[in-house]
């Protein structure tokens, strides 16, 4: 069975099952690279794929330059893939071969024992208030595009939604006090909005959105159609340059981290945060978003949340006990 044909069936099935926006393009990019790598070595049949060959492919991913991975494509950003990115590629390869087993195309997955490269655990630094002010100030709110960007940044900061969820947001998903998003695993959830953000989002939808001249039910539009993940990332790149931020990464994902840190710092509940972020467990929320939440952040509000706040356990100095002589 041809590897190329099996890959296409896998992608069609994924589309039919309604994978989240951004998932299928990632699958196509990774598996297309996999098929091309095997074809270059004269291996075109699914049954010919083995674990040793997949480990060679993994080594290629870790050591190759972008021009080697995509020789026929004009690459904007050159360089090697990070271990974290390669780890994501390994997950895609495993998902593909597990699907082949589920569909009775293979007896066993050759990727079952394929390990992800060890990657250093990096703490994503959240935006400071100064960063946020400069980013918002870089948006010209007197123009439809600038106002759209301004509202988009505020919505990401206020809700912590994923960039894929932002791009998939429809006008019918917007309510006066909350929005509905379709997250990973096709799980729908409701997320509250600050009243000021809700008002600005309403103004964008009813005043500026129509000026893009695009027929679509998506909330955030560009001149050629609904904004894509790549389009939002490009907007962040422009905002970063205009804001003059050079000391840190500026991306929708960092905005999600910033929302999480500020939510907790302002006294928000970890369990509720986990639900708003769309995580399947509190453990995921804690391990992913508490890295930048320092002990100094927690100690600032210690007096407010201490068990002794509303008790009379602490004796007042100078007060004599009853019946004392």
Instruction: Compute mean pLDDT per 10 residues along the chain, 325 residues long, and list them.
Output: 94 81 80 94 95 95 81 58 88 95 95 88 80 94 95 91 90 93 76 91 95 94 92 94 92 88 71 63 51 49 47 50 47
Q: Based on the domain organization, do 96 and 133 belong to the same domain?
A: no
Is position 260 within any domain? yes
Whether 320 is in a domain gets the answer no
In a domain, 208, yes or no: yes
Q: In this structure, are 289 and 181 located in the same domain?
A: yes
Q: Is residue 122 part of a domain?
A: no
Kindly state whether residue 198 falls inside one of the protein's structural domains. yes
215/278 same-domain check: yes
pLDDT value, residue 76: 43
Question: Same domain, yes or no, for 197 and 83?
Answer: no
Is the Cβ–Cβ distance between 190 and 176 less than 8 Å?
Answer: no
Q: Which residues of 14-28 are buried (b: 16+ CB within 10 A; e: fewer)?
A: beeeebbbbbeeebb
Position 107 in a domain: no
pTM score, two decimals? 0.61
Q: Tell me, what CATH number does 24's domain have?
A: 1.10.150
As a whole number of angstroms, the distance between CA 253 and CA 146 comes to 21
Tell me what pLDDT residue 65 has: 81
Same domain, 213 and 292: yes
Same-domain pairing of 168 and 220: yes
Which of 128, 156, 153, 159 lies closest to 141 in space, CA to CA? 153
Is 317 among the domain residues? no
Phi, psi of 110 (to 5 degrees): -70, -15
Q: What is the pLDDT of residue 293?
A: 52
DSSP-derived secondary structure letter, 204? I
Q: What angle do CA 97, 184, 174 make, to 5 degrees?
A: 150
Beta carbons within 10 angstroms of residue 260's beta carbon: 25
pLDDT at residue number 298: 45
Which range marks the domain in which residue 63 is found? 3-102
């Amino acid at each position: 069975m041809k590897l190329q044909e099996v890959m296409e069936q896998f992608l069609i099935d994924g589309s039919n099952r309604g994978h989240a926006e951004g998932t299928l393009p990632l699958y196509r990019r990774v598996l297309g690279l996999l098929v091309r790598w095997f074809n270059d070595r004269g291996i075109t049949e699914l049954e010919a794929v083995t674990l040793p060959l997949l480990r060679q492919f993994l080594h290629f991913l870790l050591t190759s330059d972008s021009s080697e991975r995509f020789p026929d494509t004009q690459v904007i950003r050159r360089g090697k893939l990070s271990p974290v990115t390669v780890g994501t590629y390994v997950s895609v390869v495993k998902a593909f071969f597990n699907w082949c087993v589920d569909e009775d195309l293979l007896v066993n997955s050759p990727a079952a024992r394929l390990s992800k490269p060890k990657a250093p655990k990096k703490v994503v630094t959240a935006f400071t208030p100064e960063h946020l002010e400069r980013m918002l100030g870089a948006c010209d709110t007197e123009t439809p595009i600038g106002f759209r960007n301004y509202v988009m940044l505020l919505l990401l900061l206020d809700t912590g939604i994923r960039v894929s969820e932002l791009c998939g947001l429809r006008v019918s998903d917007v309510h006066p006090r909350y929005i509905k998003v379709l997250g990973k695993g096709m799980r729908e959830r409701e997320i509250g909005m600050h009243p000021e953000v809700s008002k600005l989002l309403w103004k964008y939808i009813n005043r500026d959105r129509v000026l893009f001249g695009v027929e679509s039910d998506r909330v955030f539009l560009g001149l050629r159609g609904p904004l894509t993940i790549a389009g939002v990332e490009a907007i962040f790149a422009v905002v970063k340059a205009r804001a003059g931020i050079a000391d840190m990464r500026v991306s929708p994902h960092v905005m999600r981290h910033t929302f999480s840190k500020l939510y907790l710092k302002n006294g928000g509940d970890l369990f509720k945060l986990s639900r708003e972020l769309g995580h399947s467990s509190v453990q995921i929320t804690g391990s992913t978003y508490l890295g930048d939440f320092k002990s100094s952040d927690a100690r600032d509000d210690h007096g407010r949340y201490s068990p002794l706040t509303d008790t009379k356990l602490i004796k007042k100095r100078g007060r004599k006990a009853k019946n004392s002589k």
